[in-house]
Structure 1
Amino acid sequence: IALAALAGILIQAGAFSGRWRWSVFNYFTLVSNVLCVVYYGIAASCATRGRASWQPVLKGALVMGMTVTGLVYHVMLSGSFTMQGTMAVSDALLHTVVPLLTVLDWLIFEQKGRTTWKYPFAWVILPDAYFVTSVVRVALGASLGYGGNRYPYPFLNADALGWGRVWLNVAVMHVFFILLGYLFVAIDKLMAQRAAQPRA
């Protein structure tokens, strides 16, 4: 998973085209995939040394971040632009392959029954922090999008939507992320209960 994320990041950032693009790291996709590389890289190191895995709250935050990456792209952004060649490969890795593998890894391999109903409020910190800081940075004059575009995502475009609508979008996404977190906790507890049931 870490290697797939790293490959997508390097392609997107221009490591193989001779022109490095720092601006891509203004996007949540790149932020979440960088964290994916860090998490799974350290987790692999711990596993080879026989150490325990990280706390489930950290794994849950990563799964939340990657799920947000996949959902926002496929529900709100897919089809709004077209990429070709290696950029299309990077696009598929970062928005589809890595999020899907991360969720599958959590579903199949993560020990179940360790989450609590409080965890979603910790998991949502990552996407909340990203969207709030992005809005604040743009309000202070930063340009975070491609080609001089101020906004990294259309739903944060205050010029077109107004600041009230932008903050409403952020608030709605916050509530959605919390509900998504509760869904993950419910799945975790259900799978733990089924695993604990004696088999006939």
Structure 2
Amino acid sequence: MKPEQKTLALIFALLGWFAIIAQFVLMLQNRVTFLPETITRFFSFFTILTNIMTAVFFTTQALGKRKYKAGALTAITVYITIVGLVYQVLLRHLWAPTGLQKMVDELLHSVIPVLAIFYWYRYEDRHHVLYRQIAGWLLYPLAYLVYILIRGHFSGFYPYPFVDVVQLGLGQVLINAFFLFILFGVIAVLFIFIGKRVKKID
């Protein structure tokens, strides 16, 4: 791995961990429920879980501790791109954070996704990523959906309005989830398609 790649990975990892930790602290400071429930809710957001996944990836790249197979970075980039897209289209208008919360919000939903796409473009072994890998990539959002539906059934807490069974009903939530899975698939196909056709610029 080139020194410049490790340096970029380190910078991206530090930004990611700063945003995650800062968001955790902010959530604790503004909590409206008991501490264990607040912590559980924090780790119930797809945004947080995916940013943690991305930060872990960048950390291992910076430390040179693990070599990933072709497709791993693409999968992570697809996940974090979905985080950014869904936020910009469906969630941004729901609140107007200020101060540190605004900075953290932009890092988690805008900056980190863009950095991940840049890193993917520069360092993924894009020509060896296969379309058949997409099915495996969908297991993560599927497991997440199952988790939040089961937990929401018992706790009454749903992390996003488009999966709120109490407000929308299970049928509508499953329809929303279906279209989100379609989005996952389309974005994954686009990344692979574009990756195989666009040349790297060194």
Q: Give the alignment's TM-score, normalised by structure 2.
A: 0.82
Secondary structure (helix, strand or coil) at the match of 1:96 reads helix
Moved more, 12-21 or 169-178: 12-21
CA shift for structure 1 position 159? 1.7
**Matched residue, 2:5:** none
**Matched residue, 1:62:** 76
Pairing 1:162–2:162 present: no
Aligned-pair identity (%): 27
> Unpaired segments of 5 or more residues in structure 2?
1-11
**Matched residue, 2:3:** none
**Whose helix proportion is higher, 1 or 2?**
2
Pairing 1:172–2:179 present: yes
| 1:28-61 deviation per Cα after TM superposition (whole angstroms, max 9, x unaligned) | 1100011111111111212xx7x7x311222122
**Matched residue, 2:155:** 142
Answer yes or no: is the 8 Å Cα contact 2:71–2:125 preserved in 1.
no
Q: How does 1:31-50 map to 2 (within 5 A)?
A: 31-46=49-64
Deviating 4+ runs (over 3 angstroms)? 15-21
Pairing 1:8–2:22 present: no
- Aligned residues: CA RMSD: 2.1
Secondary structure (helix, strand or coil) at the match of 1:56 reads coil
CA shift for structure 1 position 17? 7.5
Alpha-carbon distance in 1 for matches of 2:164, 2:26 = 29
CA shift for structure 1 position 112? 2.5
Alpha-carbon distance in 2 for matches of 1:71, 1:12 = 19
> Unpaired segments of 5 or more residues in structure 1?
144-149, 196-200
**Matched residue, 2:101:** 87
CA shift for structure 1 position 128? 2.2
**Matched residue, 1:28:** 46
Secondary structure (helix, strand or coil) at the match of 1:130 reads helix
**Matched residue, 1:188:** 195
**Matched residue, 2:141:** 127
Alpha-carbon distance in 1 for matches of 2:26, 2:144 = 24
Answer yes or no: is the 8 Å Cα contact 2:163–2:173 preserved in 1.
yes
Name the aligned partner's letter for residue 33 of structure 1: N
Name the aligned partner's letter for residue 3 of structure 1: L
| 1:3-30 deviation per Cα after TM superposition (whole angstroms, max 9, x unaligned) | 1111111111007986885232211110
Alpha-carbon distance in 2 for matches of 1:90, 1:99 = 13
Q: Give the alignment's TM-score, normalised by structure 1.
A: 0.83
Secondary structure (helix, strand or coil) at the match of 1:151 reads coil
